[in-house]
Amino acid sequence: MESNQNFKKDASKGISRRRFLGNSALFMSGAVLSPFAVHAHKRLGLTDTLRIALIGSGSRGTGAALNALRADENVELVAIADVFRDMVDRSYDHLSANEHIKNQVNVPEQNKLVGLEAYKEAIDLADVVILATPPAFRPLHFETAVRAGKHVFMEKPLSTDAPGGRRILAAGKEAESKGLSVVVGLQNRYALRHQAFKEQIEAGVIGDITSMTCNYMIGGLQQADRQPGQTEMEYQLRNWRYFEWLWGGSPAGLTIHYEDLVHMIKGSYPVRAFGTGGKAEMRSAGSGDIFDHYYIEYEYADGSRFHSRTRHINGCWMDRSISIQGTGGSGNIAAWRDSEIIGLDNQVIWHYDDTNDPNPFQTEHDLFFESIRSGKPMNDTEWAGMSNMTSIMGRMAVQSGQQIEWDQAFNSDLVLVPDHLTFDSDPHAMPDENGHYHVITPGSDRSRVL
C-alpha cells in the first residue's frame, strides 16, 4: 500500500500542549453544536443523486451504509470494497434485502471490489465515501478520499499509532480547506441525552468537577479460526481486533466512545496518563498481542483526574457507563439506564428519559447529508482525532509502564503500520513456532511502545 509524503510532512509538525489546550474550546462541543468548517462546498439540489462507496464491509461498515441510505432518499450505493470477497457479498446481500433501502443499492458486479488496493477505485466512483476498514488503513484511505475531493464518513478508531493520528489531523484540515464534510462514528456526541447532560454540567448543577470515571466492561471478542493455506496477513486481517497494529488496542477501539464523551463534558483533553493492564484470558495460540484489560488514569491541566477502565473478558461483570463527580453531586450516564444527576443528599435532581429520542447512529448521518446538501460543511476530524490520540497515549502509558506526557505521545515516531502491504507481507506481529505472539511486558518493552 502506498503512502503520501506530503500529508506526512505537514502532519509531522505536531501540536504542542499549549496550542492544543488554547484552541480546545473551538471544537470540544463537537460538530453537532458548532461545525468549524468555513469554506462552503458546492450546494447540491435536493434531487441531485449522491453516489456512495463503502470501503470496509464488515458489520459496522454495513450498518453505516444502511444509515447513510436512510438519511437521504436521493443517494445510492454504487460500490463496495473489502479485502475479502465474502465480506463484500455478505454486505451486498444484507443491504439489497432491506425493504427500506434496497432500491438505492445499485452495485454492479464490476463495482464489487476486492483487495488491499480496492479502496482507490471505490473512491473514484463516489461522491461520498464510508471508511470502515480496520483503523490501520484509515489514515491512507482518508488522505486519498480528501485528495480526491470526496465527503467522508469514517469509523473510529482513526489510527493505531501517533504518526497515523497526525496524518488524520492534517488530512482533516485539507478537507476543511476544500469545503468537504467529514463525520466520525463517535455517535455518542450526537445523542440528545448526552448533549442535555453536558448542558446540566456546564450549568453547574453538580458544582465544580473533581473527578471522572468510565467503564467499558464487555465479554470476549469474536475470533476466526486459522484456515489451511491462509497467509499470516490474511489471518490477522480476519482477526484485526486481536492485533495492536491493526486495531490500536481497546482504549481506542472500544472505550473511546465514553472517553470522548468525558472530554466533551470536561471541555479539554488530558495532559498526561499512566496506568496498568495486561492479557489475562486470551492466551491461546493465535490470540494476538493485545491486552484484554486496562486501567488508565488521565490528568487534565487543572489537576482533575479521569479514571478509564476497560475489560473484554468472558464471564465477568459487564458495564458501560460514565460517572462525573462534582462538589455538589454526581452525574451518571449508562448504556442500559437513563441519565441522571444525584445531589449530595442522594436525591435525584435531574433525570433524562431517552425513550423517544432519535438513534444517534442515524442522527450523525442525517446531519452529514444535510451539511452536504446545504453547502455548509461539518468536520469532526479535529475533536475526534484528539480523542483518538488521547486513547493512544493511554495505551502507551499502560504498555510502557511509564507516565506519558501529551507531547511525548503526540509526537511519537513509532510506526506500527508498514507501507506497501500485500497478502504475503509479514505483519508487525509474527507468531512463534507454537502460534503464540509476543505480548508487551510493561517496563521492559518500551521500544515497542514509545
What does the pLDDT read at residue 149?
A: 98
Neighbours of 42 (CB within 10 A): 8
> Considering just the CA atoms, what is the radius of gyration of the chain in Å?
21
The dihedral over CA atoms of 88, 89, 92, 93, expressed in degrees to the nearest 10, equals -150
Q: What span, in angstroms and rounded, lies between the C-alpha atoms of 388 and 162?
A: 9
DSSP letter assigned to residue 415: -
Angstrom distances, CA of residue 377 to CA of 42, 149, 211, 363: 10, 13, 35, 16
- Is the peptide bond prior to 228 cis by the omega test (within 30 degrees of 0)? no
Flag whether pLDDT at 165 surpasses 90: yes
Q: Where are the domains of the chain?
A: 5-188+361-379, 192-358+390-410
Residues 6+ apart with CB under 8 A from 351: 338, 339, 340, 341
Architecture of the domain delimited by 5-188+361-379: 3-Layer(aba) Sandwich (3.40)
The tens digit of pLDDT for each residue in 27-39 reads 444 444 333 333 3
What does the pLDDT read at residue 35?
A: 35
Unique residue bearing C-alpha cell 451504509: 65
Flag whether pLDDT at 8 surpasses 70: no
Q: What span, in angstroms and rounded, lies between the C-alpha atoms of 281 and 65?
A: 34
What does the pLDDT read at residue 46?
A: 60
The tens digit of pLDDT for each residue in 197-229 reads 999 999 999 999 999 999 999 999 999 999 999
What does the pLDDT read at residue 24?
A: 41
Give the confidence band of 449 by pLDDT, cuts at 50, 70, 90.
Answer: confident
The tens digit of pLDDT for each residue in 71-104 reads 999 999 999 999 999 999 999 999 999 999 999 9
Top CATH class of 192-358+390-410 equals alpha beta
Phi, psi of 24, deg, nearest 5: -60, -30
Cβ contact 278:426 at 8 Å: no
The tens digit of pLDDT for each residue in 308-319 reads 999 999 999 999
How many degrees, rounded to 5, is the angle at CA 348 between CA 347 and CA 354?
Answer: 165
CA 370, distance to chain mean position in Å, is 22
Phi, psi of 332, deg, nearest 5: -135, 135
Angstrom distances, CA of residue 362 to CA of 51, 358, 406: 18, 7, 33
Q: What span, in angstroms and rounded, lies between the C-alpha atoms of 39 and 174?
A: 11
Closest CA to 266 of 329, 347, 190, 322: 322
What does the pLDDT read at residue 45?
A: 65
Per cent of the chain over pLDDT 90 is 84
Q: What span, in angstroms and rounded, lies between the C-alpha atoms of 350 and 373?
A: 37
SS3 370: helix
Give the confidence band of 445 by pLDDT, cuts at 50, 70, 90.
Answer: confident
Mean pLDDT for all residues in the chain: 90
Q: What span, in angstroms and rounded, lies between the C-alpha atoms of 18 and 329?
A: 31
- Lowest mean pLDDT: which of 58-67, 251-260, 306-315, 441-450? 441-450
Residue 4: enclosing H or E segment and its boundaries? none
Flag whether pLDDT at 41 surpasses 70: no
What does the pLDDT read at residue 34?
A: 35
- Lowest mean pLDDT: which of 45-49, 82-86, 123-127, 280-284? 45-49
Instruction: Dig out the grid coordinates for 441 from the structure.
Output: 511486558
